[in-house]
Structure 1
Amino acid sequence: MLTLVGCTLFLPVAAGAEAQIKRIEPLIGEGHLTMDLDVNLKLSPIVIDAAERGVPLYFTLDVKITSPRWWWWDRPIVETSLTRRMSYNTLTQQWRVATGDLFLPVSSLQEAVAVLEKVRGWPVAPLDRFDPNTQYNGLVRIRLDTSHLARPLQLDARNRGAWSLTSPWTPFDFSVRKGGGAQ
């Protein structure tokens, strides 16, 4: 049996930050390394206005996990992303937050952002990629992915700082232990 020895990382939220990772918790679930994340998002007025007019917004979480090596650069183990879409239907006046084909209807922009800010049970990688009793380092960030916007908005997004919403890479570390009980 493998158990996870690592950290639950709680970070203070900086005042005025637009995007920040607040909590990172790597977990083991169903033969996978899963992650629970809490994020703080503050959208600019231009982005809020676009969302309220029906422009779907895509938020992407990126994770990189490496194994340290003393003789060369760290060995990459995992590099993956999770994209969520937030959209507003102006005809039905309904907000939706979607991951892939699954969506969750919510009643307001604040509720939609609250759904985006909590990620639970995200399967990052199968456990067979990780050696027992080895320390792994990871980085996580969230960003507004403007590459999914309509072409005219992509051009506008490159020229406006209001569309740039990216958290800094937030580090975490963990190890997988062979045996019983989490430590």
Structure 2
Amino acid sequence: MRLAALLILVVALSAWLTGTARADSRNAAITQLRLEQADDGVYLTAQVQFDLAPVVEEVLEKGIAIYFVAEAELYRERWYWTDLKVAQAARYMRLAYQPLTRRWRLNVSPVPITNSGFGVSLNQNFDTLADALEVISRIGRLRLGDLAEIGDDPSHAVSFRFRLDTSQLPRPFQIGAVGQSDWNISVEKNARLPLEKSK
């Protein structure tokens, strides 16, 4: 009897904490998610809506870079076992303000961007923060793999995540960001998507 009561308490507490974490995620939402088949592979397109808190904008304007990560996984259903992950991809984005030029610089890479160098990345410059954030929020043509690897099923189970990566911030900011909802930009969506032909 006590064990059952304890189990119910743990489940209720877990549900409450999960609900609180979602509510603190700066109103982030995935407004579009699409799976496309092209001649050279299968691509995911997503649109994310989020707002930066004033404290995050202030940190950016001081020249401290912030990092975003978009991750996607694609699964094939199996009736006899758990779903099989057949593809995964990620996009890493670094946003920084350049005080000398008064422009915003965005680095985009398929691999994590470290302080030791940007590796192979696409660089773009913007006049305003709003322009840079608009590009970050549109995850266009994230390549998941070849059709031969993924399969030509009419629909696929997809898991998509987008988040602000606070682990890449300088150590004093990491400590200050812990537990603060201003820094909690994170959203995830699991959906079964039709595989559309690219136009």
The TM-score bracket by the shorter chain reads 0.7 to 0.9
Shift of 1:22: 0.8
Separation in structure 1 between the aligned mates of residue 44 and residue 31 of structure 2, nearest angstrom: 13
Query: Which of 10, 21, 30 is residue 21 of structure 1 equivalent to?
Result: 30
Q: Which residue of 2 aligns with 1:147?
A: 167
Which amino acid in 2 is paired with 1:150? P
Shift of 1:130: 1.7
**TM-score w.r.t. length of structure 1:** 0.79
- Give matches, 1:90-129, under 5 Å: 90-100=99-109, 101-129=121-149
Deviations 1:14-67 (A, max 9, x none): xx9532111112112342111222111211111111111111111111111111
Gaps of 5+ in 1: 1-15
For the pair shown, the structure with the greater C-alpha radius of gyration is 2
Q: Which structure's residues are more often strand, by fraction?
A: 1
RMSD: 2.1
**Cα pair 2:69 2:91 within 8 Å, conserved:** yes
Q: Which structure's residues are more often helix, by fraction?
A: 2
Gaps of 5+ in 2: 1-24, 110-120
**Cα pair 2:35 2:45 within 8 Å, conserved:** yes
Cα gap change, 1:20 to 1:86, in 2 (>3 Å): same
Q: Which residue of 2 aligns with 1:52?
A: 61
**TM-score w.r.t. length of structure 2:** 0.74
Q: In the alignment, is residue 158 of structure 1 matched against residue 178 of structure 2?
A: yes
- Relative contact order: is structure 1 or structure 2 higher (C-alpha 8 Å, sep ≥ 6)? 1
4+ residue runs over 4 A deviation: none
Deviations 1:75-132 (A, max 9, x none): 1112321111111011221111221322111111111111111122221222221222
Identity over aligned pairs, percent:
23
How many equivalent pairs are there?
163
Which amino acid in 1 is paired with 2:165? D
